[in-house]
Structure 1
Amino acid sequence: MADRTERTIVMNADAADIMAVIADFENYPEWVSAARDVEVTESGPDGRPREVRFVLDAGVLQDTYVLAYDWDPDGRSVSWHLVSSDLQRDQRGRYVLSQQVPGSTKVTYELMVDLVVPMIGQLKRRAEKAITEAALNDLKKRVED
């Protein structure tokens, strides 16, 4: 992913437990503050979500969009790309999990968002940084609670 934002955090959990929370899209509204509604619209033959529809309400930013997911067979990473959106031209992201020792996993979140409305590069990076930090902190809280 060219021109993306990347953040890393260590979580006190095993990679499989973290990936299970990431894949549990229906429960995102319980712990992702901007997620108003999340629906798996298509699953793959392995039962994992293939396409997911999000209704996002982050105050000034409201969007309905669909992401397509690609799950790594080893269970250590998942990537996605934008299928459709009201406000986004493109979105690509990825979680990469690296089990350090039992009960401790390094989680890296990569994100690139391109909005339909032009945005200065510096503001775009700042917004991506805020999104990735919030996502990792919310994920950590959900996984460790």
Structure 2
Amino acid sequence: MAEKTKRSITIAATPRQVMDVIADYAAYPQWVAAAKSVEVLEVGPSGRARQVRFVLDAGMVKDTYVLEFDWAADGRSVSWELVSGEIQKAQSGSYTLEPLPDGSTMVTYELTVDLTIPMIGLFTRKAEKAITDTALKELKKRVEG
């Protein structure tokens, strides 16, 4: 599997406010451009989604996949692993939220994707970087908007 792509952004909100937006999967089609539908399949003991099905259409890349989430008890991180996918054979990722002294939050997004179709590593890393950059910008806009 490829190296993790890691990106960060500062959002003018508390970690709880940021995590509430991250955890609201039903709302993703309203603010995540590529998300055509998002369905929570299973809720965990914390009340947060445990398994979620995503239908994405990012132009040339279309996929339906299920992720399983693990929520940190302190509410400052969530990680996930791929359960099933059409064009992905593996995906792992996480959001980590760090409160800053000014009341804002540093959000770090890590992502690794392994596709079923052969792809040169350089292109995979570029795609991961584009995905993480877009995700963080869309998250910032949603939380601060």
What's the TM-score once normalised by structure 1's chain length?
Answer: 0.97
2:133 maps to 133
- Aligned-partner residue type, residue 48 of structure 2: R
Which residue pairs with 2:72 in the alignment? 72
**RMSD over aligned Cα, in angstroms?**
1.1
TM-score of the aligned structures, taking structure 2 as reference length? 0.97
Alignment: residue pair count: 145
Q: Percent identity?
A: 59
1:1-145 to structure 2, matched below 5 A, reads 3-145=3-145
Q: Which moved more, 1:52-61 or 1:1-10?
A: 1-10
Whole-Å separation in 2 of the counterparts to 1:24 and 1:62: 22
Q: Secondary structure at the match of 2:100?
A: strand
Shift of residue 46 of structure 1? 1.7
Mark the runs of 5 or more structure 2 residues left unpaired by the alignment.
Answer: none
Deviations 1:79-136 (A, max 9, x none): 0000000000100000000001253100000000000001111111100000000000
Amino acid at match of 1:33: A
Contact 1:92–1:111, Cα closer than 8 Å, also in 2: yes
Residue 59 of structure 1 aligns with an amino acid whose one-letter code is: G
Q: Which amino acid aligns with 1:131?
A: I
Q: What CA distance in whole angstroms lies between the structure 2 residues aligned with 1:55 and 1:130?
A: 18
Separation of aligned partners in 2, 1:71 and 1:34: 24
Amino acid at match of 1:110: E
Is the Cα contact below 8 Å between 2:5 and 2:128 reproduced in 1?
yes
